[in-house]
Amino acid sequence: MDGNGRWAQRQGMPRSYGHEAGAKALLRAIDAIDETDIEYVTFYAFSTDNNNRNNDEVGSILGIITYFLSEYVKPIISERNYRVRFIGEMRMLPEPLLDVINDINNLALNNKGKMLVFAIGYGGDYEVANAVNVIIKQKNMLLDDKPVTPEELKKALYTVNIPDPDAVLRYGGYKRLSNFMPLQTAYSELFFTDKLWPDFDKEDILKVIEEFAKIKRNFGGNNDNV
């Protein structure tokens, strides 16, 4: 969800204004997803690299995330029976945000609907490193000296039991994934738009669904006869 700050600057407003607009766009996106057959959606809200911004902007972004999760996202979790997962380096997040995350996790514990995944304080490099460390610790406990397998690695990722993304849509004009799920997106179809995230519209999602349906996916194989 890229381009919040640039969106605000183009209007002569502070970057925090753009982050607020981006949070409102998130709510519109959830509504749009709810009207489709999409069962799993991940919103990349704040990366580990975003921590390199100045302290005021980092505090503003995390404060806005905390407020919108508490005041707007939390109520619809119960109303719509959403499942929820938060992925990222939770230890990097401020306590008020962690409290809201815990509340939402408890609220959604027995829900059965669509799954919303929020990547907050997330970095793909951190996720892979964490997975490797978890596996090494387990192998040491079991005196297992066998090499780590791809299956073991996938089971140790934050996204265990969540399907790999079929498609990734990035806003903001840049054609890169910026440390987003480097393993899980190996076979994802990638879509990029110059539109800035606060300008999100339901048609953006519908266009991706339409284009995705036209793509022949081989996953490294040969399906010429299919």
* Residue 115 pLDDT: 97
* In the predicted structure, residue 12 carries a pLDDT above the cut 50: yes
Domain assignment present for 222:
no
Domain assignment present for 105:
yes
* Residue 203 pLDDT: 97
Total structural domains in the chain? 1
pTM of the full structure: 0.93
Residue 23's identity, in one-letter code, is A
Show the domain range for 192.
4-212
Domain assignment present for 109:
yes
Domain assignment present for 224:
no
* In the predicted structure, residue 225 carries a pLDDT above the cut 60: no
One of 34, 50, 103, 179 is an active-site residue; which one? 50
For the chain, what percent of residues have pLDDT higher than 90? 93
| Tens of pLDDT, residues 76-97 | 998 999 999 999 999 999 999 9
Name the band, by pLDDT with cuts 50, 70 and 90, for residue 175: very high
Task: Quote the crossing angle between the two packed helices 55-68 and 15-34, to the nearest 10°.
Answer: 30
Domain assignment present for 150:
yes
Q: Is position 50 annotated as part of the catalytic site?
A: yes
* Residue 71 pLDDT: 95
Range 110-133 average pLDDT: 97
Please give the torsion angle defined by the CA atoms of residues 6, 97, 126 and 38, in that order, rounded to the nearest 10 degrees. -70
* Residue 226 pLDDT: 45
Domain assignment present for 219:
no
Domain assignment present for 121:
yes
* Residue 109 pLDDT: 94
Domain assignment present for 140:
yes
* Residue 222 pLDDT: 65
Query: Tell me, what CATH number does 174's domain have?
Result: 3.40.1180.10
Q: Is position 2 annotated as part of the catalytic site?
A: yes
* In the predicted structure, residue 224 carries a pLDDT above the cut 80: no
Closest to 121 (Cα-Cα) out of 65, 56, 47, 189: 47
Name the band, by pLDDT with cuts 50, 70 and 90, for residue 217: confident
Q: Which helix (H) or strand (E) holds 128?
A: helix 124-141
Closest to 60 (Cα-Cα) out of 102, 10, 22, 91: 22
